[in-house]
Amino acid sequence: MSNDLGIDRSGNNNSWTVNNITYSDQMVDSPTNNFATWNPLQPDRTTVAATRTFAEGNLKITTTGTSGADSRVFGTIGVSSGKWYFEWVMTVDSNTVGSAIGFADEDHSDEMAYYVDGTKRSDAPNASYGATWTIGDIIGIAFNADTNAITFYKNNATQGEITSAVDGSQEYFPFVWDGSGASVITGVANFGQDSSFAGAKTAQGNQDSGGIGDFYYTPPSGFKALCTSNLPAVAVVPSEHFNTVIYTGDGNSTHAITGVGFQPDFNWIKSRGDTNGHTLQDAVRGATATMYSQSTEGENPTRAYVASFDTDGFTTGNAAGASKGPSNQDGNTYVAWNWKANGSGSSNTNGSINTTATSANVDAGFSIVSYTGTGSAATIGHGLSKAPEMIIVKNRDNARNWRTYHEYSGASDPETDYLNLDETAAVADHISWNDTAPTSSVFSITSSSDRAVNYNGDTFVAYCFHSVDGYSKVGSYTGNGAASDGPFVYTGFRPKYVLIKGSSFADIWGIHDSERSGPNPVDDTLYAHNNSVESVNDSNVKIDILSNGFKARGNNDAVNKSGGTLVYIAFAETPFKYSNAR
């Protein structure tokens, strides 16, 4: 970082006259390495009464509480593994007991915090900890996400390690808290981009152990700056495992659709401009076999809306006199969502029922499973390395609902509950999953009392998903009902596809993707549970797609019911490590 502001070093003497820029405005943040900041897109989930003002590139935050209200602000980068460090300086404090700094999960149900009065909180009531701190003190925060331990430093003096009681199963974010009461807190964070704290201190230029950052104090050994270049390398390249393509039908008996980037094993097509239904095909059942997400109807094995899966996409077909409408009507526009599994698969013997075929993409956390019901409670091998967080099961032989398991449905025991992909109903209690959570090898199904998942002699297909860092996320969020400032949902990547459903209340299954909509907001929506035309420019159900997640911008219950639990599954366009804002 140079102090020669405005100077042209090319030799061409094209120097700039400096105006209202100081040395402290220079930062090591760059387009190829983005450091964390405070997140103005994440509304305060505790109260809407507090106000928050962001400045200095979202590193400076002023929060103003009101009587009986407080305010929390979170960082833009969440972590679930590794060792991380950042610094904080408070510059104004009218509340000497309630302010805190630390790490917390998105809902603030788990927190590791150091309060100005010297107390700590680690997923439990406050307890004595270290020295008090005040305006001008530099607080260092070193979080080990591998062990859920955190150490706070006051002016580089350790206050001791805190072993946290947090569950460690989700991302944790830097956060600052303005305690309840009519108070004002102003402070500046340094996530590694500015050790001057926006000019409040004299820059020191210390770096983490990887030679990255600009810290006031040298981070503890092994602890890194919160920036994208320090995020772990991704194991999955999103475009090699999921892709959305849009195309126009030509009315011919076959039509090769290319540009997917791989040979798909699960293909979902919807006509955008008419009421032809959703058609779902996969490599386990065969490309010509079709089912319909909006219908309880069983499988049509020869419908041939898709004739074949190809090396770079698929070819539509028109076998057995089927209408071209759902996949290739002349002039109609279509969207096709495509997933890679592992071809036609092979039998899996991990469960009490040997599957007809299990096609598993272990790296991408997705499998297609075909099995024959026995009528008795059973287990089914899903072929993945982790327990699925979302499972969609359909009876291929008979008219039954698309029974759906979602781990984050809001129920205390999600394995006792279900949603139906073809219905808008809220989550309901049922023994479909035999009251047993999926494991890393099998999922459980009940007896013939639920013909949707197990009936003697009927054949079934199951689509199984679990989250993969930088590629996919199965999760939930709580709506706030705000028309333009709904919840921000952190996924750790820029989404390409998001499916959202109200879980605690009855509402639609909304499908959002970045291909059908232009720049934000993403407001062209289709619905998995019905065959309606695409809802274009619908401000009620719009979302923003961001570099690290998505944000509800509509006030419709379908994306943002106040106090409601909404579940989702999202797939990436670009991992956060490499993504820029949309």
Q: Which of 159, 169, 43, 37 is nearest to 109 (CA)?
A: 169
HEC profile of 513-577: ECCCCCCCCECCEEECCCCCCCECCCHHHCEEEECCEEEECCCCHHHHCCCCEEEEEEEEEEECC
Q: For residue 86, give the DSSP letter.
A: E
Q: Determine the pLDDT at residue 2.
A: 47
pLDDT for the residue 91: 85
Q: What is the CATH number of domain 31-230?
A: 2.60.120.920
Does the pLDDT value for residue 321 go beyond 50? no
Question: What's the chain's average pLDDT?
Answer: 90
Give me the residue label for tokens 């998105």.
106
Would you kindly state where each structural domain of the chain is located, as residue ranges? 31-230, 238-339, 357-465, 472-575
Q: Among 44-48, 61-65, 409-413, which stretch is predicted with the lowest mean pLDDT?
A: 44-48
Which range scores top for mean pLDDT: 34-48, 93-107, 261-275? Answer: 261-275
DSSP for 220-236, written as a single string: PTT-EESBGGGSPPPS-
Q: What is the CATH number of domain 357-465?
A: 2.60.40
Average pLDDT over every residue of 414-423: 94
Q: Is the peptide bond before 521 cis (omega within 30 degrees of 0)?
A: yes
pLDDT given at position 373: 96
Tell me the per-residue pLDDT of 393-404, one tens digit each, with 9 for 90 and over: 999 999 999 999
Strand order of the β-sheet with 390-395 is: 357-361, 366-372, 459-465, 390-395, 403-406, 417-420, 428-429
Does pLDDT of 87 surpass 90?
A: yes
Distance CA 237, CA 571 (A): 11
- Contact between 444 and 432 under an 8 Å Cβ cutoff? The reply is no
Per the model's pLDDT, the better-predicted residue between 444 and 31 turns out to be 444
- Please compute the mean of the pLDDT values over residues 313-325 and round it to a whole number: 75
Query: Rounded distance, CA 571 to CA 496, Å?
Result: 6
